[in-house]
Amino acid sequence: MTGAPDTSYDNILEIKNLQTSFFTKDLEVKAVDGVSFSIPKGKVLGVVGESGSGKSITSLSILRLIEEPGKVKGGEILFKGENLLNKSEAQMRKIRGNEISMIFQEPMTSLNPTFTVGQQIGESFRIHQGLSKKEAKKKSVDMLKLVGIPSPEKRVDQYPFELSGGMRQRVMIAIALACNPDLLIADEPTTALDVTIQAQILDLMKDLQKKLDMGILLITHDLGVVAETCDYVAVMYCGKVVEFTDKKTLFTEPKHPYTVGLMESIPQYDQDVEGDLAVIKGSVPSPADMPKGCRFAPRCPFATDLCRNKLPDLETDEDGNQIRCWIYSDEWDGDPEVNVYERSESTS
Amino acid sequence: MFQFIIRRILQTIPVLIGVSIIVFSMMHLVPGDPAQVIAGEGAPQEQIDNIRERLGLNDPLPKQYLDYVTNAVQGDLGTSMRSGRDVSSEIGARFWVTVELAFYSTVLAVFVGLIVGIISATRKYSAIDTILMLVALFGLSMPNFWLGLMLIQWFAIGIDLPSWVPFFSDTAWFSPSGWGSFSQVVLPVITLGTSSAAIIARMTRSSMLDVIGQDYIRTARAKGVKEQIVIYRHALKNALIPIVTVVGLQFGGLLGGAVLTESVFAINGMGKLIIDSIQARDFPVVQGTILVASLLFVFVNLLVDVAYRFLNKRIDLD
């Protein structure tokens, strides 16, 4: 169950059995519960899932930015082969913003309102490369140019409130890419932007990813974004990875009933507008009250007693794809001829 | 920026007119005939007429007001009934004493308040946080004249405790009265600054907690910024915006508090001048002192607004 699908790859990031929990007075909430995946060098991994599936917590865990009362409890986060969980805070600071950078969901609130754009980009150069104020500003202008902001010499002295949402996200990208990171974590970078700007930002990220040859961990709940940008996809549900495949397999033959459900809930352009959009029935269980078997069992149309009572492992198949579902195991006690698509055929 | 300051100064004019009307009316709001009140009960009619003539009370009210304002603008606030000296020179001698007292107290309050607030905010819900906020609540609730008296008793006169009590055996370190030397300044400044320090500490704590939870603080951390710099550069600059407002308002409170503090420590400042003048029914001095104190308050808030401009770039000037 542990291990990456393609160990032959030189993985820039490899997460093994990551566990992050939040502790209240007498309760432990397992937000991330044994997540494993890996990102090959220079590739884009999409992490998909509903709200509350642990995507963002996973990404903050990588940078070790989980705040009290949260805690990374166990597992390994191998970045260039070294376990980040064993690093000191000072060593982590050298990695953050330098080797691993992060872009956040909310460009409106993620920039400090009291510093100019140039000061905020320049800070990365000053911290990690020890540049002077003047050199940092010059490089900030270059970064603004790189992310496609017009008249960068003027923008560099402006404050965030003088910029639009799309501009601010470009500034966030400029901050993140300032020091040529090997890994970029983008936590729903386009969710807060309107559709035309979303496409621009995604194109920019793809473009820069190729130019700078970095790995990207792209967190999203939008499968359209996945189709557009990713090489690999990890589907998360309730703090666990339920399916890990290359992008093509995900869209041609999704295996996990949850993944299939996600696919069906995307509106199609040829869909009958009168009909209802398919939904996954029920809602994400509360992390404080997890089902004891497969976490998707209460919402799964194929669930059997086995599913409800025993949690399946994440199994790797011969192609290196991973799946956490009893249907594909030898122990499966339901209909041996089950087809996870049958529901979609009957509903469409 | 220059334009902003000019405009802000012009905006104080209506405030000043309002203040001058209120101060001017004081004389006429006392029940009965002001001249009679000033002269005191049982004064001969001749003396009352004399006072009335000297204060121009026989003129119509608008003329009296215009005369008052015209003179005040030229620095003539009238003549003290008690000493016969110019009100402006009476105040002038004491003005800087009160300004110094209020200024040192503000500096102390800001310094202590910020440090305590930041420590509390960065260690929220810890034992240190609880203790500091309890002390702040205590400091806030203590009447400052009482605090002044206690400080005099402990640190100026000294307390007779059994000799085995450590530390507090011989604590008459400071002077209980007057103004000027270091030993005279310490106790009144602590007395006056304590409640402001407590308010600023509480304000700093809540403002910092709010800012530390913001997304841009996470951005700074994700950039690899040291935690101290995250707190003192990224967070504090934003947190200061509401704190500066409080400091400006506190200064007004300090001017009021100075009245009590100056009385307790027998400091010859404007506060004591007001008390003495009220007791002596020396109306021109009371009016003049209140006018000057109001001016000072308006001026300090002008400074606060300018400081605000530097901190919060979103305030639009034009």
pLDDT at B230: 94
Is B314 within 8 Å of A159 when comparing Cβ atoms? yes
Residue A236 bridge partners (DSSP): A241
> Which range of residues forms the domain containing residue B199?
94-278
pLDDT band, residue B131 (cuts 50/70/90): very high
pLDDT at B315: 60
pLDDT band, residue A275 (cuts 50/70/90): low
Determine, yes or no, domain membership for B177: yes
Of B209, B211, B215, B223, which to mutate for an interface test with A (greatest number of A Cβ within 10 Å)? B223
CB distance B201 to A75 below 8 Å: no
In B, minimum Cα distance to A104 occurs at B219
The CATH code of the domain that includes B100 is 1.10.3720.10
Determine, yes or no, domain membership for A80: yes
Alpha carbon separation from A145 to A110, A131, A135, A167, B136 (Å, rounded): 20, 19, 16, 12, 50
Is A123 within 8 Å of B223 when comparing Cβ atoms? yes
CA angle (A333, A237, A106) in 5-degree steps: 170
Is B218 within 8 Å of A65 when comparing Cβ atoms? yes
Query: Could you tell me where the DSSP H helices lie in chain A?
Result: 55-62, 89-95, 117-129, 133-146, 152-155, 165-177, 195-212, 223-229, 247-252, 257-264, 305-309, 342-347
Instruction: Give the distance from residue B130's alpha carbon to the nearest chain A alpha carbon, in angstroms.
Output: 18
Determine, yes or no, domain membership for A95: yes
Q: Which DSSP symbol is given to B86?
A: B
Please name the member of B219, B223, B238 whose beta carbon is closest to the beta carbon of A114: B238
Determine, yes or no, domain membership for A31: yes
Alpha-carbon gap, residue A28 to A71, rounded angstroms: 10
Amino acid identity of B58? N
Q: Can you tell me the ipTM of this complex? A: 0.84
Amino acid identity of B242? P
| pLDDT at B237 exceeding the cut of 70 | yes
Burial A24-61 (b: 16+ CB within 10 A, else e): eeeeebbbbbbbbbbbbebbbbbbbbeebbbbbbbbbb
pLDDT band, residue B199 (cuts 50/70/90): very high
Is B216 within 8 Å of A159 when comparing Cβ atoms? no
**Mean pLDDT along residues B178-188:** 88
Instruction: Give the distance from residue A298's alpha carbon to the nearest chain B alpha carbon, in angstroms.
Output: 35
Q: What is the dihedral of CA B37, B43, B45, B46, to 10 degrees?
A: -110
Is A65 within 8 Å of B222 when comparing Cβ atoms? yes
Is B226 within 8 Å of A93 when comparing Cβ atoms? yes
% of chain B exceeding 70 in pLDDT: 97
pTM for this structure?
A: 0.81
Alpha-carbon gap, residue B243 to B84, rounded angstroms: 44
Determine, yes or no, domain membership for B237: yes
pLDDT at A219: 92
Q: Is B124 within 8 Å of chain A by CB? A: no
Determine, yes or no, domain membership for B294: no
Q: Is A168 within 8 Å of chain B by CB? A: no
The residues near A123 (Cβ < 8 Å, ≥ 6 apart) are: A136, A175, B220, B223, B225
Determine, yes or no, domain membership for A134: no
**Mean pLDDT along residues A86-108:** 91
Determine, yes or no, domain membership for B271: yes
pLDDT at B139: 92
Which of the two residues, A339 and B4, has the higher pLDDT score?
B4
% of chain B exceeding 90 in pLDDT: 35
In A, minimum Cα distance to B310 occurs at A114
Alpha-carbon gap, residue B106 to A333, rounded angstroms: 77
CB distance A103 to A183 below 8 Å: no
Alpha-carbon gap, residue B123 to B120, rounded angstroms: 5
CA angle (B257, B260, B263) in 5-degree steps: 140
Task: Find residues 227-256 of chain B whose CB sits inside 8 Å of chain A.
Answer: 234, 237-238
pLDDT in tens, A265-274: 777 766 666 6
Partners of B223 on chain A (C-beta within 8 Å) are: 96-97, 101, 123-124, 127, 175
pLDDT at A212: 85
In B, minimum Cα distance to A177 occurs at B223
Determine, yes or no, domain membership for A38: yes
Highest-confidence range of A80-94, A291-305, B47-61, by mean pLDDT? A80-94
Determine, yes or no, domain membership for A165: no
CB distance B192 to B102 below 8 Å: yes
Number of structural domains (chain A) is: 1
> Which range of residues forms the domain containing residue A241?
11-99+179-347
Task: Find residues 38-77 of chain A whose CB sits inside 8 Å of chain B.
Answer: 63, 65
pLDDT at A6: 41
pLDDT at A28: 85
pLDDT in tens, A112-142: 999 999 999 999 999 999 999 999 999 999 9
pLDDT in tens, B74-89: 888 888 877 888 888 8
**Mean pLDDT along residues B197-207:** 95
Q: Is B222 within 8 Å of chain A by CB? A: yes
Phi-psi region of A289 (alpha: psi -120 to 50; beta: other; left: phi over 0): beta
| pLDDT at A2 exceeding the cut of 70 | no
Please, how many CA atoms are within 13 Å of residue A323, restricted to the half-sphere of its CB? 19
Q: What is the dihedral of CA B301, B306, B309, B315, to 10 degrees?
A: 60
DSSP line for A159-175: -GGGS-HHHHHHHHHHH
pLDDT at A93: 92
Alpha-carbon gap, residue B132 to B120, rounded angstroms: 7
The CATH code of the domain that includes A342 is 3.40.50.300
Q: Is B63 within 8 Å of chain A by CB? A: no
| pLDDT at A348 exceeding the cut of 50 | no
Determine, yes or no, domain membership for A316: yes
Instruction: Give the distance from residue A261's alpha carbon to the nearest chain B alpha carbon, in angstroms.
Output: 32
Q: Which DSSP symbol is given to A285?
A: P
CB distance A149 to A171 below 8 Å: yes
Q: Is A112 within 8 Å of chain B by CB? A: yes
Number of structural domains (chain B) is: 1
pLDDT in tens, A191-243: 888 888 888 888 888 888 888 889 999 998 888 888 888 999 999 988 889 99
Alpha-carbon gap, residue A238 to A296, rounded angstroms: 8
Which of the two residues, B42 and A240, has the higher pLDDT score?
A240
pLDDT in tens, A167-181: 999 999 999 988 989
Q: Find the largest Cα–Cα distance for chain A.
A: 69
